[in-house]
Amino acid sequence: MNWSVNLENELITRVLLIAATLAALYVLTRLAQRLTRRYVTDPSRAYAVNRTLRRVAGVTAFVTVIILISPDVRGLLTVLTVIGAGLAIALREALLSFVGWIRISLIAPYRIGDRIEINGVRGDVIDVRVLRTTLMEIGAWVEADQSTGRIVHIPNSWIFEHALYNYTRGFRFIWNELSITVTFRSDWKAAHDIMLRLANISAEIVEQQAASEIQAMSSEYLVHYSILSPFVYVRIVENGIR
């Protein structure tokens, strides 16, 4: 009877210590974030500080809980083994998202501020957390790649399951196509020449910059473009010449 009472008291003590530790960490983190908002005026820097605070608090809470659950080393290893096996089976998606976060942090296929597309979702990366990435959505029903105003949360596991398109990293320029349709009676050759002349004037500003970036990118990827000048293609469609 005494043994069971002692065991119960020890369990209650550990639970109370865990609750007190988590509460203290939460209060300290919130206080630090409030001080950051007050004294750090740069939004990017304030965001980075708050993200670091959240990560440090999370790691500290995890380590503290594990130590309080099993204070001796042998018991600690047993607890970690059981927890790891349970997570691998029951939380496969969450575990895969955690591994994806590690890959994003180390290899950085995208960073905050990049414009990406993955699994049909397009947007600007505004936050990267342990299990999810947050995007400010673009496109959808809004044309011209404008923001829709919606915030989209995607799991980090998607980087292992779907193709990732990064509009920002590596090469800041993309090839785009502008379609203009004239009637069958129109002078399509004159329209062709006008469009080509205007395209060359516009491209002259960025063509040299694009060539420099391609040259820099070729040291990391086997990529080569010999011609960066605009082209005008002509074809017949139902309602005219495009």
Nearest in space to 229 (alpha carbons), one of 198, 186, 199:
199
Element (H, E) at 241: strand 240-241
> DSSP characters for 140-170?
TTSSTT-EEEEEEEEETTHHHHS-EEESSSS
Give the Cα separation of 38 and 54 in Å (integer): 17
Q: How far, CA to CA in Å, does 220 sit from each of 153, 163, 215, 224?
A: 30, 19, 10, 12
Report, as an integer, the average pLDDT of 182-200.
Answer: 84
Q: Which residue segments constitute the domains of the chain, with CATH numbers given?
A: 2-90 (no CATH), 108-166 (2.30.30.60), 188-241 (no CATH)
* Mean pLDDT, the chain, whole residue set: 78
Residue 187: phi and psi, rounded to 5, are -80, 90
Which of 68-72, 79-83, 124-128 reaches the highest mean pLDDT?
A: 124-128
Phi and psi of 111, rounded to 5°?
Answer: -130, 170
Confidence of residue 1 (pLDDT cuts 50, 70, 90): very low
- Candidates 165, 29, 153; CA nearest to 97 is 153
For the chain, the farthest-separated pair of C-alpha atoms sits apart, in whole angstroms, at 102
User: Is residue 117's pLDDT more than 50?
Assistant: yes
**50 versus 125: which is more confidently predicted?**
125
Q: What is the mean pLDDT of residues 174-192?
A: 82
Number of H helices, E strands in the chain: 6, 7
d(CA 26, CA 18): 12
- What would the mean pLDDT of 68-78 be, rounded to a whole number? 61
- Give the model's pLDDT for residue 98: 85
**Which amino acid is residue 201, in one-letter code?**
I
pTM of the predicted structure, to 2 decimals: 0.56
- Whether residue 75 is predicted with pLDDT greater than 70 in this model: the reply is no
pLDDT of 200 > 90? The answer is: no
pLDDT at 78 over 60: yes
Q: How is residue 32 written in tokens?
A: 């630090």
